[in-house]
Structure 1
């Protein structure tokens, strides 16, 4: 291990990069508290753990294992690397071994075979299941026992292997997708497993949030229902990162009352000292190129962070926020509480924003917090706090200190590649987390190029890791980083979850990962097993990242989020009711399991002819497989396979929803540093044929989106302005793509494409701007599209301030004349079928949300608009047109009609 202090010196490059470090926080080490092995624990398993170096367990492991052994649903919410797996495998394997021994008492009777207890292990990714299987194999070998039969079973498992699992396995490791598509619809083949089901382990359960979490919650209800029909009532064991109110979240996930769940939240494992650095890339030299041409498509806006509520902590308490640092929400955390006190009140919110956000009103722009206080003391330099005066965008009425010109900063991915190369050359073992697959490939390739200039032998020690790789490739990369054969991986969040990769010196994070839960999960990869580690959060150019790297309290002194999802969402619930009826007719006494809306929704499904009602229950009578009605992860269908045309070699897969924009004809597809060009995308076959070719450019798709209102569920007038909420159809079509030279991203050409349109039925919030409001704002006909477009981008970026979601959970559209409203209109919609409650939250807090949007745009130091305020790298119109000044005037005019309270 390399000392974090020495690695920090490497990053600072002998002071040459010191100005990029905006904050450093040293998180103190923590000592561990051990406990005795439980008396009920299987002696051979205990011997196995001791042989692997676990002489005595940590206290939290014993508390969780004891609760599970006693038959109580249990959730263990502690930090990364705290040994959560021992807590659920000790009771599960001890039960399996006891049942195995019992069956040997009379091996001639078939009833004995049925008594072998089984365990079902569920996790979000195949990689994590494979990692757990390898760990279990090591444990059983160390304990010199092989009478527990283990196996993974997922979409990659052959039919022969699947039959063996159905007939013999005691512990089955899989994921919710396999449960939904294969195991539950074919439950009669799994009767042995379901009838003997003693434990269901749900690992990394904090990952099941939002719409995905609602789907998984309903899959688990279907599992409980079928297990009960075979005579089993399994105990659920859940492992989670540190989250707000884990007992309530776990109970909502499995469909029980929170009083039935035991939560263990005090982490008794040791932790090494962490050095946590906040980092902002430098400004680039002046350029006449537009902002949109300087930013890659893989560098999207981050999620605006709920601002910190005042939490009482001692001045010397520098530990990461724990599970007790939460809002006083009680057991029910849906919907989420306001981001901070007063968020429901627009006046209080505006004052709160002015106190913590840089640049609101007369307060200067981002970066001021580092040099001086709110009284104007400190470094009086352009763009920072000081006595000098400045002026905002023309026509805004703002008096803010502004830079003399728009100066873009270096991208986070480019900065991360430099830092990763320096760390690798210094001998460190590192992970670099990026926000996209393209980002992971880009960081790995750029890092290798840097290392080639230092020592060619270093270049082979850095690789990319992402979803879409073949299973054998992922396993090989995981083994290589564990063994030290690889020194660094540039990865997506695929390695955020519990794959056991210990002994890492440093973790680099390219941009805010979306939630504080994810941030601490990724940071926990550095210095695991009680060793010291270095963590660096590198800001991308967006509002949240800029805010965070200059306001460390929003990271270190703010509670983690709750896991929020809604299993009663009718668009989510309806297909699961169909799937449940197909598995086994639904009975009246079972409806409470699925929530209070179930009876009404079933009546609607019967009226539509989807289900049939009989005196004995509700039946699925169609030939199609009901489980195919829904996709748990919202990927839009089966993945598209990327196949090399010449050899027929399968390179990887791409989500169906992103295939049009990433593997269209002519697209450049990068795989482990090698570039391929797509010859043909066959959507009907789910195949993209590619040819290996070295090119000096990348491809970026361009698309168009339309929004059509299907129903108005709620409407509120603000004088001449109308706020609406309801169901909409969002239709997206990829029209073409640009080829941009790498690395300067100069546009080399534009090509047209002929691809089908895709329609999403979801929920949206919208507001109108009639002609008199535009006139009062001084927004001309020519300026209207740019003003609306800028307001749309900024409002999408600010909604996560008030709703627990990621920017990628949202979409939007603005138009100077919408066919349904017959006025200028701005839409913001949920990016999930049926909606997820985020747009509804925006509708409820309309004035609060819009005022925060207006203030954030006005706060930015740029003149004409930039990625930190109104530009969006995911814009399908290449950020054109945008008019920052007109957007501020328009929002100001709209807010004059807002009610006095939200």
Structure 2
């Protein structure tokens, strides 16, 4: 630490603006806090590009008047792609000149065709109006015979102004997805001239269109394209995004067509200092002290927090400790009235205000003036968001500082102890699910009200959308024409019933009017189950540094009444959850577990709330609550935990439930390292015995109805997720578990029971770090013959004309997974299928198993030796399709039914055909681990050929040969009728 600090001080010694602040920050004795790590991110020189065809003279003159003489290389690359008529995504850091790209592209298009139009979409109204001012300045600098016009059309636009805009649309219409949904698309006939000449659609802050909001916006953009096609236009899309791992994928999922990505930023970057701190005491107090230090040094400061509560706590602490600064600092968050937010933005931009404490509401590019210091109270949850927030400082080319104060929870502590994860800028994946069935069902009536849906477009839809259409038609939410070729909405304006941002009904929070007794005024809003958790009777609600206590919650009218009260505590709810598996969508074997993805029904019941003292979090008391149970269907993945692991944990005298509960918490904490999400997006539940699975399981699911794609992302990355989870828990210095590893601030069970040691041990078993079976490895696959009989097979599906002969080899021996009952953990090394129709052997490695499963479902009959008990038992881990439905003939099963005992394939092959197996299961595993694929595949093919030839011999001769213990060669009568087998299949 000392070496790093002295190096740091040397590097900032030439700075006149930052040096005093940073020197004090690093050398002061903070008593209950310390500097854990710091890095100096060097400045970056600009890289310029050149267009193949120069810009029109008017635009060159406009740029020069604005002080811009050259374009960065990423700007020229994007402009060239737009000129070529492509949809484009510009995914570069904050303040890299993205807005100039689309303004130039649109202006160039308007110079060529002054009758054209462009639509600019911003996620929030404040950003729309902020960008309008930038656009006006740019347009005013462009010499043109027809002056370019731009106007905002949003919820704050007066009805008179809206009518004028509809009658004569500006060249650029600036709005948000909400108005596009409620006003433009719903009344598209009033905008006919605009749609006919729409050339560009600009979608700014694309990375915000993820989760529920993104799924809604994806549907809105599909409807927009549908309307444009109706009026004969095909606008190009220009997406602007912060840096994420999958910009092309996100853009394509939003608009349902591919886009070209430009993501190599060439803009200059001033030097930045990144300081990681640790605190043993109040985070709000430390943040307030650092902010005060910066403000007193004349540095404009923004403090970002992770919650509304923390925003108010930091503002309260700063106001109390530095009352002279209080008039120049404000809090800022969602829930404020629009007029409050605009006043704060203007005060910051003008310099009347020097500091602000904000939630994520200010992380986007609203102009609030040049800022110098960014304090992050809590890791923002993702690398992308961290740099997005940190990008608010240093915009004027000045040196800047970002200070991260981690919360005492797992992800924050992981980041502060692994700063390279953040500093190396490994960006996360943005996840959106355009086919969320609940959201599709919400938007199809809107689309049909705009223009009737036609059979032609429906036939091109994916299955999920067609299923949603059928359900809507069945319940009368859509009406079908007599000839069945069109669908209509029974309501002229179903749009008003679709809230594209909320995940549940919105609640209005009211407080007594200060000047009029008996009357109430709006204080803020809340929505969905969050309202029940934060605005229940007795809840403490924070607003602009003051505390209110909720008196009543009206569930029918969705109104909350709260009174101002000087409370020295906050409230936290406790709840109980259950989950039901509705459908398995995918399945795969991992190390020592099977992971499955499926549709779930989740039930949550809020049972009461705790009062906790501010700053110390001491529990004061518990009050029960009687609130309605919340039930929703979603998508989740789960890990099935074998009984062998349960036994080992209990024999080690560890708490199994505490172990899987801790693992659930830690895994959810690590989830944002892989996908853009916050703690409200993901839910989890640990169950020591799930009645449907008949075993223990840990579920992680999307926290919104219908799912938003996060669980599917987690399912794909489950191995990596558990590896990071183990790294987190093992690396924490606590003995029994703490908020930095296995405690969760969202736990409805109050973080009980939890067992850190059991958590580590369970993860080690799941990941294969510890063997499930401790004896010497011996035995072969043939030991599976001793397994108990399987349940009777149900009638299989109708036949198709082909016979397949199947055998497979595994990656692991039965002893390594805890015995034959855990064969679903043995995993396939290679499988071979002989197709009687083509006469070919088809080889499948593990990554090809989905293709094998599909092929098996196409066959008339599948033939194998011990196939039902063993091969299908191994394969079932890879698919939700119940393999027992396949029309299957098991030679071993038939022999056992005839004799009353089992014989091996090797024995029957030798005695009947004079051919023995060329190896055994133990040798097959050795070959796999040596990477000796040729002998492994040859051996498996030989077993398939032996199985095929025995089956055909038995059909032709009517018997097989075996030898008893006395050496007598005897016949096994095989009155097997192939036609009956096929008919039965």
TM value normalised by structure 1: 0.75
**Which of residues 772, 775, 780 is equivalent to 2:647?**
775
Once the two structures are TM-superposed, the CA of residue 777 in structure 1 deviates from its matched residue by 1.9
Aligned counterpart, 1:154: 154
Aligned counterpart, 1:461: 328
Once the two structures are TM-superposed, the CA of residue 268 in structure 1 deviates from its matched residue by 3.5
1:224 partner SS: helix
Against the structure 1 CA distance between its residues 244 and 708, is the aligned structure 2 distance closer, same or farther, given a 3 Å change threshold?
Answer: closer
Aligned counterpart, 1:415: 286
CA contact (8 A) 2:572 2:611 kept: yes
Aligned counterpart, 1:619: 487
**Which of residues 883, 888, 892 is equivalent to 2:755?**
883
Aligned counterpart, 2:430: 563
Aligned counterpart, 1:119: 118
Looking at structure 2, the residues matched to 721 and 95 of structure 1 have their Cα atoms a distance apart, in angstroms, of 57
Against the structure 1 CA distance between its residues 881 and 227, is the aligned structure 2 distance closer, same or farther, given a 3 Å change threshold?
Answer: same
**Which of residues 582, 585, 610 is equivalent to 2:452?**
585
Against the structure 1 CA distance between its residues 604 and 583, is the aligned structure 2 distance closer, same or farther, given a 3 Å change threshold?
Answer: same
Looking at structure 2, the residues matched to 800 and 257 of structure 1 have their Cα atoms a distance apart, in angstroms, of 26
Once the two structures are TM-superposed, the CA of residue 536 in structure 1 deviates from its matched residue by 1.6
Against the structure 1 CA distance between its residues 241 and 853, is the aligned structure 2 distance closer, same or farther, given a 3 Å change threshold?
Answer: closer
Against the structure 1 CA distance between its residues 78 and 825, is the aligned structure 2 distance closer, same or farther, given a 3 Å change threshold?
Answer: closer
Q: Deviations over 1:261-313 (max 9, x none)?
A: 3x3334333221111222222xxxxxxxxxxxxxxxxxxxxxxxxxxxxxxxx
CA contact (8 A) 1:776 1:893 kept: no
Aligned counterpart, 2:367: 500
CA contact (8 A) 1:764 1:839 kept: yes
Looking at structure 1, the residues matched to 541 and 675 of structure 2 have their Cα atoms a distance apart, in angstroms, of 35
**1:650 matches 2:650:** no
CA contact (8 A) 1:2 1:428 kept: no
Once the two structures are TM-superposed, the CA of residue 821 in structure 1 deviates from its matched residue by 4.1
Deviates more, 1:588-597 or 1:225-234: 588-597
Looking at structure 1, the residues matched to 391 and 340 of structure 2 have their Cα atoms a distance apart, in angstroms, of 24
Which structure is higher in helix share? Answer: 2
**1:701 matches 2:573:** yes
Instruction: Flag the structure with larger Rg.
Output: 2
Deviates more, 1:708-717 or 1:203-212: 708-717
CA contact (8 A) 2:431 2:708 kept: no
2:506 partner SS: coil
1:649 partner SS: strand
Aligned counterpart, 1:710: 582
**Which of residues 536, 542, 547 is equivalent to 1:675?**
547
TM value normalised by structure 2: 0.70
**Which of residues 767, 788, 792 is equivalent to 2:660?**
788
Against the structure 1 CA distance between its residues 802 and 522, is the aligned structure 2 distance closer, same or farther, given a 3 Å change threshold?
Answer: closer
Against the structure 1 CA distance between its residues 47 and 875, is the aligned structure 2 distance closer, same or farther, given a 3 Å change threshold?
Answer: same
Against the structure 1 CA distance between its residues 180 and 819, is the aligned structure 2 distance closer, same or farther, given a 3 Å change threshold?
Answer: farther
Q: How does 1:270-669 map to 2 (within 5 A)?
A: 270-281=268-279, 409-452=280-323, 456=324, 458-591=325-458, 598-599=465-466, 602-603=469-470, 605-606=472-473, 610-614=477-481, 615=483, 617-623=485-491, 625-627=493-495, 631-644=499-512, 646=517, 647-669=519-541
Aligned counterpart, 1:255: 256
Looking at structure 2, the residues matched to 593 and 182 of structure 1 have their Cα atoms a distance apart, in angstroms, of 28
Q: Cα RMSD over matched residues?
A: 3.5
Against the structure 1 CA distance between its residues 91 and 739, is the aligned structure 2 distance closer, same or farther, given a 3 Å change threshold?
Answer: same
Aligned counterpart, 1:228: 229
Q: Deviations over 1:423-466 (max 9, x none)?
A: 112211011111111121211221222223xxx2x221111111
Aligned counterpart, 2:564: 692
Aligned counterpart, 1:391: none
User: Unaligned 5+ residue runs, structure 2?
Assistant: 1-14, 773-816, 828-845, 847-985
Looking at structure 2, the residues matched to 873 and 435 of structure 1 have their Cα atoms a distance apart, in angstroms, of 12
2:650 partner SS: coil
**1:809 matches 2:810:** no
Looking at structure 2, the residues matched to 536 and 24 of structure 1 have their Cα atoms a distance apart, in angstroms, of 9
Against the structure 1 CA distance between its residues 893 and 94, is the aligned structure 2 distance closer, same or farther, given a 3 Å change threshold?
Answer: closer
CA contact (8 A) 1:206 1:240 kept: yes
Once the two structures are TM-superposed, the CA of residue 129 in structure 1 deviates from its matched residue by 1.0
Against the structure 1 CA distance between its residues 878 and 82, is the aligned structure 2 distance closer, same or farther, given a 3 Å change threshold?
Answer: same
Against the structure 1 CA distance between its residues 515 and 800, is the aligned structure 2 distance closer, same or farther, given a 3 Å change threshold?
Answer: closer
2:566 partner SS: coil
Against the structure 1 CA distance between its residues 264 and 91, is the aligned structure 2 distance closer, same or farther, given a 3 Å change threshold?
Answer: same
2:43 partner SS: coil
CA contact (8 A) 1:587 1:616 kept: no
Against the structure 1 CA distance between its residues 640 and 821, is the aligned structure 2 distance closer, same or farther, given a 3 Å change threshold?
Answer: farther
Aligned counterpart, 1:756: 628
CA contact (8 A) 1:166 1:192 kept: no
Aligned counterpart, 2:978: none
**1:868 matches 2:740:** yes
Looking at structure 2, the residues matched to 67 and 844 of structure 1 have their Cα atoms a distance apart, in angstroms, of 33
Looking at structure 1, the residues matched to 224 and 460 of structure 2 have their Cα atoms a distance apart, in angstroms, of 11
CA contact (8 A) 1:434 1:492 kept: yes
Once the two structures are TM-superposed, the CA of residue 25 in structure 1 deviates from its matched residue by 1.9
1:857 partner SS: helix
CA contact (8 A) 2:282 2:616 kept: no
Looking at structure 2, the residues matched to 776 and 701 of structure 1 have their Cα atoms a distance apart, in angstroms, of 34
Q: How does 1:20-59 map to 2 (within 5 A)?
A: 20-33=34-47, 41=56, 43=58, 50-54=64-68, 57-59=71-73
